[in-house]
Chains A and B, each alone.
Chain A
Amino acid sequence: MKHFRPTSPFHRWPVGVAFCLPLIAGLAMFTAFPVGMSLYYSLCSYPIFSPPRLIGLRNYQELAGDPRFWLSVWNTFYYAMVAVPLGMVVGLLLALLLNLKIKGLAFYRTLFFLPTVVPLVASCVLWNQILNPQQGLINEFLRFLGLPAAWLPGWLTSVTWSKPALILMSLWGCGGGMVLYLAALQDVPQELYEAAALDGARAWHRLRHVALPMISPVLLFTLIMGLIGAVQIFAQAFIMTNGGPADSTLFYSLKLFNTAFTEYRLGYASAMAWVMFVLILLATLGVMKLSNRFVYYHS
């Protein structure tokens, strides 16, 4: 009987590649190829039904002088800069509350996580009602608190309040981050808290100097994912405001979509997509660089 002789990994690589081939082919066909083509189209004039024509960097030059492009950048920046940190803070606060040993904990955890699984379109319809300035839940509550009618926010019908309205709505989905923070908090060794308590640390100090450093890798992860998601915000504006009123919710992705399918300018829209990719990349790299200062990898 022959002894089993393992062949060298080098010898067996075709088998490995063969097994991975469906995935590689799918990735190449449906991701790498479109990404490459979009880079090519960004250098073209491509009015969708006619063949693309190379025009060099003209699309990028036009972007630099397009005031609506910069407006969409500003709207998206405003949204991301407020919605992401706020969502993280609210998610963390909920996680801290749900980390306490109280009765009905599983029920509360489910309750706060539930909005995350509600489909986005259904959420938009629901929030349209909640944000209704005359009969909506929020303004009814503010009225109940005695706020004068003149001070009540117009939410989606007001240029000033439309972005804060969508930021408020984004908090509805902070249950996703909450679950991650909760898992991370439960992973913090109990003896660290006990040691800190023995040294005289109060609750705030235990949170500030023990819990937060220990869960900082998760905070970094949610920050990056949140930024990527916020920069790509589309559905809420498309369904609820269509960029209005007066372009106050014209976000980057909505402008990109309209450029491609209302103005039929696929080349210009591809250039926008690449600028967005570079912006997200720079933001992520910036956060990663800064993360050296505040993230603690205890392993």
Chain B
Amino acid sequence: MPKSRTFPRGVPVGRWFLLLATAGITGMLGGCGHKPPRRGPTVISFWEPYGGASKARLQKVIDEFEHLHPNIHIAVSYAANNLTSSQKLFLAIAGGVPPDVTVVDGQQASEWAARGALDNITGPVRQAGISGKDFWTPRWKESVFAGRVYALPWGADPNFALAWNKKLFRQAGLNPNDPPRTMAQLDRDIRRLTVIGPEGRIIRMGLIPWEYGSANSLFTWAYAFGGNFYDPPRGNHLIGRVTINNPRNIEALRWMAHYAKRYGISHVAAFQSNFIGVAANPFYTGQVAMTLLYIEQDSLIRRYAPTLDYGVSFIPAGPHGHYPTGWLGGWSLAIPKGSKVTPAAFEFIRWMCASPAGTLAYGKDMAMFPAYRKSPYYQTIRNNKHLMVFYRIVSQSTHARSLMPVQGYLMELLHRAGQQVFYNHRSARRELDKINRLVKERLAEVVRRARNRLERRR
């Protein structure tokens, strides 16, 4: 029988191989944990929700930051971030491995703060000389909970302007230079501009009142009717007065429901389902005569419908509403709980949200309005007639959606209420009464937990 080959001391080759492999793997694993002395720039991980062309535009802004701050590198990662798809961030925070900086939907900043998902940045904000006066007021208010600052407002979306197709106005015998200013005029124009084909099929809509979903649309029209959703708390109180069943809000929902019934909600939904993708927006193609315009759309129309003859003005207001009216949305930047508020991370947030250079880059590269009211970007749009309409909305608006720290829940409930009223003909009053009660209960629960946590920290 041939003897197996051995190294000195009689150990078989196979065993030597195993030993060496084990030692090698152990060494490699050991190497993973070894931290080499840090050289080069400080790395800040930044989670953002942009994709496609917007991502490339955001990268331009970040490139500028890095150019001005050679000792900081921003590692950008995509993380879906909206009312229903923020689980990547939530799990990272709950698991104790959050990014250094994250984008937060402004309407949810106080909610996430109340739930303990964001770090308090009041100290660094004060040290940097930043205050609420630097921002458009509704956007700043969204970033504050219990007197503490948890985020800096980044963008300010003036929602919405009214855009109208002048050619279709002419065809319908309406004055193309006279957009509706009152709800009565709007109703008249919608009726004249809507075209129903044989068999009830919708050929063209004058306006789709719930174009951006029931919740966002209800905020828009409720404020146009003079409504209100919440009186924020005063003094040391953490809970304000919930007014979701305000009579003007009910009136607005009934007005929307009237069109759902008049043209048939299923017919309108079928009509809407024909338009998929940004380029196929029915306003660009002349299948909707009036639309509620968000700020980014002005540049989108230039790209996808350069020959469209359209005007931009303010949305009409009801007898109890203010003209011009609107509310502000927009992203904010925050430091998630579990991540240290390092000077580099705060400097990134400060530069992006509250510096002339950062906000100018945001406005120019991303075609959005900065929340920083002193931004030099606003000097660059003086001659742009359409953008000046948005500027008036952003500078005069006193509303965000609502300032309740249960905003995600409220949006979900308003969405459901809209669907029940439009499809199942439920009473608008009863639905909003129900939401008022549910939101009050949830608000009390969230604030109670937040208060306990704040007291424990003290």
Contacts and interface: CB of A to CB of B under 8 A. Distances in A.
A110 B453 CA distance: 60
Contacts of A247: 416, 419-420
Interface in B99-119: 115-117
Interface of A: 1, 47-50, 128-129, 132-135, 148-150, 154, 156-159, 242, 244-247, 257-258, 260-264
Given A49-B93, A49-B94, 18 more contacts: A47-B446, A48-B94, A49-B90, A128-B273, A129-B276, A133-B266, A134-B271, A134-B274, A149-B199, A149-B200, A157-B266, A159-B423, A159-B424, A246-B419, A261-B86, A262-B84, A263-B409, A263-B412
Interface in B79-104: 83-87, 90, 93-94
Nearest to B452: A50
A49 B84 contact: no
Nearest to B446: A47
Contacts of B271: 134
A157 B90 contact: no
B251 to A, nearest CB: 22
Contact of B266 (A135, A148, A158): A158
A157 B116 contact: no
A245 B419 contact: yes
Interface in B402-422: 408-409, 412, 416, 419-420, 422
B444 interface: no
A261 B112 CA distance: 12
B454 interface: no
Nearest to B338: A49
A198 to B, nearest CB: 58
Interface string B353-381: 00000000000000000000000000000
Contacts of B408: 262-264
Interface in B439-454: 446, 449, 453
Contacts of A1: 1
Interface string B247-278: 00000000000000000011001110110100
B90 A261 contact: yes
Given A50-B453, A154-B270, A261-B86, A148 B115 contact: no
27 contacts: A48-B90, A49-B93, A49-B94, A50-B449, A128-B273, A128-B276, A129-B276, A134-B201, A134-B271, A135-B274, A149-B198, A149-B199, A149-B200, A154-B270, A157-B266, A157-B269, A157-B270, A158-B266, A159-B423, A246-B420, A246-B422, A247-B419, A247-B420, A260-B87, A261-B84, A262-B83, A263-B408
Which A-B residue pairs are the 7 nearest by beta carbons? A149-B199, A157-B269, A133-B270, A246-B423, A246-B419, A154-B266, A49-B116
B337 interface: yes
Contacts of A47: 115, 446, 449
A260 B85 CA distance: 11
A47 B87 CA distance: 13
Contacts of B201: 134, 149
A134 B94 contact: no
A132 B87 CA distance: 31
A116 B328 CA distance: 45
Nearest to A245: B423
A258 B412 contact: yes
Interface string B28-48: 000000000000000000000
Contacts of B90: 48-49, 261, 264
B337 A49 contact: yes
A132 B270 contact: yes
B406 to A, nearest CB: 9
Given A48-B90, A49-B93, A149-B201, A133 B273 contact: yes
Contacts of A246: 419-420, 422-424
B339 to A, nearest CB: 13
B93 A154 contact: no
B274 A264 contact: no
Given A148-B199, A150-B199, A134 B337 contact: no
A157 B94 contact: no
A242 B215 CA distance: 14
B412 A262 contact: yes
A289 to B, nearest CB: 38
A260 B84 CA distance: 9
Contacts of A129: 276
A262 B112 CA distance: 12
Nearest to B197: A149
B82 to A, nearest CB: 10
Contact of B115 (A50, A128, A132, A149): A50
Contacts of A156: 273
A258 B84 contact: yes
Contacts of B200: 149-150
A89 B85 CA distance: 37
Contacts of A242: 84
Given A50-B115, A148-B199, A261-B90, A154 B269 contact: yes
Contacts of B423: 159, 245-246
B324 to A, nearest CB: 32
Nearest to B421: A246
A150 B266 CA distance: 12
Nearest to B336: A49
Contacts of A135: 274
A37 B345 CA distance: 35
Of the listed residues A129, A157, A159, A257, the one surrounded by the most CB atoms of chain B closer than 10 A to its CB is: A157
A49 B409 contact: no
Contacts of B412: 258, 262-263
A48 B270 CA distance: 38
A135 B203 CA distance: 12
Of the listed residues B94, B409, B422, B423, the one surrounded by the most CB atoms of chain A closer than 10 A to its CB is: B423
B212 to A, nearest CB: 14
A195 B199 CA distance: 59
Nearest to B199: A149
Contacts of A148: 199
Contact of A261 (B87, B265, B266, B273): B87
A264 B446 CA distance: 11
B1 A244 contact: no
A10 to B, nearest CB: 26
A247 B417 CA distance: 10
A143 to B, nearest CB: 10
A268 to B, nearest CB: 12
Nearest to A244: B419
Contacts of A258: 84, 412
Nearest to A150: B199
Nearest to B416: A247
A191 to B, nearest CB: 54
Of the listed residues A128, A150, A154, A257, the one surrounded by the most CB atoms of chain B closer than 10 A to its CB is: A154
Nearest to A158: B266
